[in-house]
Amino acid sequence: MSKIVDIINKAETTHSLTKEEIVDLLRCDEYDQQLFLAADRVRSQFVGEQVHLRGLIEFSNICLQNCYYCGLRKENAKVKRYKLSPDTIIDFANKAKTYEYKTVVLQSGESQSYTVAEMKYIITSIKALGLAITLSLGEKSREEYQIYKEAGADRYLLRIETTNKKIYEALHPGMSFENRLRCLSDLKDLGYEIGTGCLVGLPNQRMEDLAEDILFFKSIDADMIGLGPFIPNADTPLAQEKGGAFSTSIKVMAITRLLLPDVNIPATTAMETLNKNGRMIALQSGANVVMPNVTEGEYRQMYMLYPGKICINDTPKHCRGCITGKIQGIGRQVSKEFGFRKSKK
């Protein structure tokens, strides 16, 4: 039997691989179908057939950071900036509840556009609706994370983006890899479920780096892993780069499922941007979560991290119906539960 098939079998049974074994898997394409089927079996065995939906509210595109890959970066003067009022955000969350979402994800650029008191008000009010709350606001102080946890936030998404410190620092001017790690460690310590993840296909990123990323997710005991291809944005310094491949992203995700069998893994929007069936392929290769957009009106077009973002002209109601149909179409069901990490709750 081939060495690669042996590695896939080892990952499926022991949920542990060496860096070299992960690199071998990533480099060889011949057994991809076996890899995806193994990840699908592990997903089914550990987290079941239910797909958890998280309603994504993109509440502000104002950002003080300058991440080279991102369309919302401060120096991109082409972006028309917006911030929703606290009551509008709460209203969108209320609407998400009527579409039977159990979780809302509050995502924005990294900024000081809202005071801590305003954020607390938003979190407390949404919590009172009986929804779980995931925050994705970037790097903050431990104190600020603590206040939001005490106000009722349950989870926090902060991708490491890449564990290669050199690449990380080259792409994040004015930011430090150590502070990123500090944030993740504080969030874990404060009792958040933590979500991290990486971009696939960054400039100078090698298969070895992606293998390190996967091992990192395991080493910090992350509860959620969101990853997707880097998609070059014409209004950024990385406009001329090649970007990540759909197939590599799905492989990194499938290996992540094999090594972290009980975590929540979204089928990401960036995957669907590169492949029109991307999220369903992802759900059949290890993923168990989808994050449909519940932002209303013109704001979806203005939250342009990368070009070609899907569903920018759709309504939340349309997206809810569309995704439910697709999920049922592959023989799975939309979960009615909060969808915390299985081993924890």
Q: Is 192 in the site for ligand SAH (CB under 6 A)?
A: no
Smallest distance from the beta carbon of 164 to ligand SAH, in angstroms?
15
Would you state the torsion angle of the CA atoms of residues 315, 57, 297, 304, taken in this order, to the nearest 10 degrees? Answer: -100
Q: Is 316 in the site for ligand SAH (CB under 6 A)?
A: no
Q: Is 136 in the site for ligand SAH (CB under 6 A)?
A: yes
Smallest distance from the beta carbon of 263 to ligand SAH, in angstroms?
17
Q: Is 17 in the site for ligand SAH (CB under 6 A)?
A: no
- Residue 107 binding partner per list ligand SAH, ligand SF4, none, with a CB distance cut-off of 5 to 8 Å that depends on partner kind: ligand SAH
Q: What distance in Å separates the CA atoms of residue 101 and residue 98, rounded to the nearest whole number?
A: 7
Task: Please select the residue that binds ligand SAH; options are 26, 306, 327, 335, rule is CB under 6 A.
Answer: 306
Q: Is 187 in the site for ligand SAH (CB under 6 A)?
A: no
Q: Is 84 in the site for ligand SAH (CB under 6 A)?
A: no
Q: What distance in Å separates the CA atoms of residue 282 and residue 276, rounded to the nearest whole number?
A: 11
- Choose between 4 and 126: whose C-beta lies nearer to ligand SAH: 126
Interior/surface letters 71-96, b for 16+ CB within 10 angstroms, e for the rest = bbbbebeebeeebbebebbbebbebb
Task: Please select the residue that binds ligand SAH; options are 7, 151, 199, 260, rule is CB under 6 A.
Answer: 199
Would you state the torsion angle of the CA atoms of residues 196, 298, 60, 315, taken in this order, to the nearest 10 degrees? Answer: -40
Segment lying near ligand SAH (by CB under 6 A), choices 42-50, 89-97, 106-114, 319-327? 106-114
Smallest distance from the beta carbon of 136 to ligand SF4, in angstroms?
9
Q: Is 159 in the site for ligand SAH (CB under 6 A)?
A: yes
- Residue 270 binding partner per list ligand SAH, ligand SF4, none, with a CB distance cut-off of 5 to 8 Å that depends on partner kind: ligand SAH
Smallest distance from the beta carbon of 344 to ligand SF4, in angstroms?
27
Among 150, 225, 217, CA closest to 190 = 150
- Choose between 12 and 110: whose C-beta lies nearer to ligand SF4: 110
Q: Is 332 in the site for ligand SAH (CB under 6 A)?
A: no
**How many CB atoms within 10 Å of residue 277?**
12
Smallest distance from the beta carbon of 55 to ligand SAH, in angstroms?
16
- Choose between 136 and 335: whose C-beta lies nearer to ligand SAH: 136
Smallest distance from the beta carbon of 331 to ligand SAH, in angstroms?
29
Q: Is 270 in the site for ligand SAH (CB under 6 A)?
A: yes
- Residue 159 binding partner per list ligand SF4, ligand SAH, none, with a CB distance cut-off of 5 to 8 Å that depends on partner kind: ligand SAH
Smallest distance from the beta carbon of 294 to ligand SAH, in angstroms?
16
Binding site for ligand SF4 (CB under 6 A): 63, 65, 67, 70, 72-73, 109-110, 138
Q: What distance in Å separates the CA atoms of residue 227 and residue 20, rounded to the nearest whole number?
A: 21
Q: What distance in Å separates the CA atoms of residue 150 and residue 281, rounded to the nearest whole number?
A: 37
Contact positions toward ligand SAH, by CB under 6 A?
69-70, 107, 109-110, 136, 138, 158-159, 161, 199, 228, 230-231, 233, 270, 305-306
